[in-house]
Structure 1
Amino acid sequence: MKRLLLLAMLALAGCQTGAKQDTVAKNDDDPCGATAFRQLVGTAGDKVDDGMFPAGTRVLRPGMVMTMDYRRDRLNVVIGESGLVDRVNCG
């Protein structure tokens, strides 16, 4: 009888749903916060300081080597051949 009771309890425990995940409101269109830095487009690249961005941000200058992995939460600041900030995007 004890084994049957234990088996029934284990079966019921297996039917439980997982813990509810936090549903923090995140903007799916801008997961890295790029819109806050879009005003930098067109400014001189030498005015861009790595310390002004969140941790993990890539400031990409002409000729730099970069990884091709896509991380939607990573901010990229791309400086073009002209020396101006060309774009600010997630990836």
Structure 2
Amino acid sequence: MRALAFAALAGLTLAACEPVTDDGSQPVLDLPQECGAAGYQGLVGQPKAALDSMKFPLGTRVIGPEDAVTADYRPDRLNIEYSRAGLIEKVSCY
């Protein structure tokens, strides 16, 4: 019984750590973007074939809608995601 009470108290304590924003919106995480994704944002909306003649940093992942990828977070890894229609949808670091 004590363990259950302790677990409930711990859960309530952790819930109090949620960041609060003044405007009612969700907090925005300011994660570092070390992979240079900002320089590739012009690719968004382009066909995947546009990537064929380009060179990217070592470790860059080109990710399709059915591709399996690891879930490890690496702020130095460039990720380019394309849609089922073959259009680039997202360029980001993760």
- Mark yes or no: TM-score above 0.5: yes
Q: Deviations over 1:28-74 (max 9, x none)?
A: 74211001111000000122138521101001012111111110110
Aligned length: 64
Question: Once superposed, what is the RMSD of the aligned Cα atoms?
Answer: 1.7
Measure the CA separation in 2 of the matches of 1:72 and 1:50: 25
Residue 46 of structure 2: aligned partner:
43
SS of 2:91 mapped into structure 1? strand
Larger Rg: 1
Identify if the C-alpha distance between structure 1 residues 30 and 50 changes in structure 2 by more than 3 Å, giving closer, same or farther: farther
Give the secondary structure class of the aligned counterpart of 1:37: helix
**What does 1:5-84 align with in structure 2 at a 5 Å threshold?**
29-49=32-52, 52-84=55-87
Unpaired runs of 5+ residues, structure 2, are 1-30
Identity score, percent = 41
Please, which runs of 5 or more residues in structure 1 have no aligned partner? 1-27
Q: C-alpha distance in 2, partners of 1:72/1:38?
A: 16
Moved segments of 4+, more than 6 Å: none
Cα gap change, 1:29 to 1:69, in 2 (>3 Å): closer
